[in-house]
Amino acid sequence: MSSYEKTLIPPLNFSMVDAGVYRSGYPNKKNHSFLRQLGLRSILYLCHQPLRADNLLFFQENGIQIFHCPIDGNKEPFIGIDPEAMAGALRHLLDPSNHPILVHCTKGTHRTGCVIGCYRKIQYWSLTSIIDEYCRFAGPRMRLLDQQFIEFFS
């Protein structure tokens, strides 16, 4: 194993959400050593595009189950998050037999932020704390429609 492969580099916007639950942006090859250290059992992938071949191979070689649950971003005026798609993603996330699990989209901000925000609602977090966490990852590109979706999700 080269020194490059031994270097542990987390994916963009990586964070621990809960015991056995992680979030991030789209991992790439330089993140594989880091992900291997997490002992992941599952990936919850939220984008519409198929996984890149290098990630697909890495997940297969490491026995990581892939849950592909495409979720549309909340982009005005006509595209929004489908509550059924969110419920499907949360079913995988809430099943402890899938943990440790990594939830990710492209940047780890909007779609991932909405899934984690809804997860926090299920955990009975206050809305203020949920939105604060969402904004920490979304930064100045936060979407009011995302916050509204999280607020009214049940």
Q: How many domains does the chain have?
A: 1
Q: Which domain holds residue 63?
A: 3-73+81-152
Q: What is the DSSP letter of 79?
A: B
Contacts of 90 (CB under 8 A, 6+ apart): 115, 118, 119, 122
Asked if 105 is an active-site residue, the reply is yes
For residue range 13-34, list pLDDT tens digits in order.
Answer: 999 999 999 999 999 999 999 9
Give the span between the Cα atoms of 124 and 78, in whole angstroms.
30
Contacts of 27 (CB under 8 A, 6+ apart): 11, 35, 55, 102, 104
Q: What is the mean pLDDT of the chain?
A: 92
- Helices (H) and strands (E) counted in the chain, each on its own, are 7, 5
Give which of 13, 34, 36 is closest to 24, Cα–Cα.
13
For residue range 99-134, list pLDDT tens digits in order.
Answer: 999 999 999 999 999 999 999 999 999 999 999 999
- For the cut 80, the answer to whether the pLDDT of residue 6 exceeds it is no
The model's pTM? 0.92
- For the cut 60, the answer to whether the pLDDT of residue 4 exceeds it is no
Mean pLDDT of 32-53: 96
Mean pLDDT of 72-87: 81
Residues present in the chain in total: 154
Six token digits for residue 44:
């919850």
Catalytic residue selected from 69, 105, 114, 118: 105
Look up the CATH number of the domain holding residue 47: 3.90.190.10
- For the cut 80, the answer to whether the pLDDT of residue 145 exceeds it is yes
User: Among the residues of 95-152, which ranges form H helices?
Assistant: 110-122, 127-138, 144-152
Contacts of 26 (CB under 8 A, 6+ apart): 11, 12, 47, 104, 105, 106, 107, 108
Query: Which residue, chain included where needed, has tokens 């005005």?
Result: 76
Q: 62 by DSSP, 3-state: which?
A: coil
